[in-house]
Amino acid sequence: MRSQPLPRPRLRPFWRIREALSLGFFLVAVYTLLEIAIPRSVVQSISMEPNLHAEQRLLISRVSYLFGEPQRGEIVVFEPPNYRPGTPPLIKRLIGLPGELVEFRDQTVYINGVALDEPYLNEPCQPNHCDAASWQLANDEYFFMGDNRNHSHDSRAFGPITREHLIGRAIFRWWPPADWGILSYSYGDSTTPPE
């Protein structure tokens, strides 16, 4: 006597709809969490040349500043003063940390009286773009500048930025494909090397 094959269980349409909804909810949740933790940003200008170019796309890590402190030399995305929703945030290099004295003298940046080594710069700053000035940072203020000093709207114009306006650290360049790569940081500060 031949044994009969067992009938295949049939999924009811309700279960198929439920599975599809569960998968859709899961994908939306994952996408939302990624956007919160690792948002994307677009370089809008030439202010960070030669290290970043206009129209490049970056991944930003919000998590970096939830569990750690911003470090000098990092490329940071932040909301400038008078930020309006819908306008792009700025992308600049972190130069001055809370409590420090940032000075411009003879087209050179000084941190607490010590000249800052800046190998990432595009070109020497011209006198008409780097007037002698100083900023004493408060305990929650950061000072940002573009690598292309002669063509950057940064803290020299709008002043220091408080911690609450920092969005995150730029960690990866993902577009265009020819420029893919992890962003490296030139700390250039012999007085406080990165940890």
- Full pLDDT tens readout for the chain, 195 residues: 566 666 665 556 666 676 666 655 555 544 445 454 445 567 777 888 888 888 888 888 888 888 889 999 999 999 988 877 878 899 999 999 999 999 999 889 999 999 999 998 888 888 887 888 999 999 999 999 999 999 999 999 999 999 999 999 998 887 777 777 777 665 444 334 333
Cα separation values, 159 from 16, 33, 88, 132, 172, Å: 57, 32, 18, 14, 27
pTM for this entry: 0.75
22 included as an active-site residue: no
Q: Annotated catalytic residue: which of 41, 45, 47, 64?
A: 47
Q: Please check whether residue 105 is in contact with residue 125, taking contact to mean a CB–CB distance below 8 angstroms.
A: no
61 included as an active-site residue: no
Residues 89, 92: Cα–Cα separation, whole Å: 10
Q: Annotated catalytic residue: which of 64, 92, 152, 155?
A: 92
Domain ranges of the chain: 39-182
Output the pLDDT for position 161: 97
User: Could you tell me the fold of the domain covering 39-182?
Assistant: Umud Fragment, subunit A (2.10.109)
Output the pLDDT for position 192: 42
Residues 46, 79: Cα–Cα separation, whole Å: 18
Output the pLDDT for position 191: 37
Q: φ, ψ for residue 57 (rounded to 5)? A: -110, 135
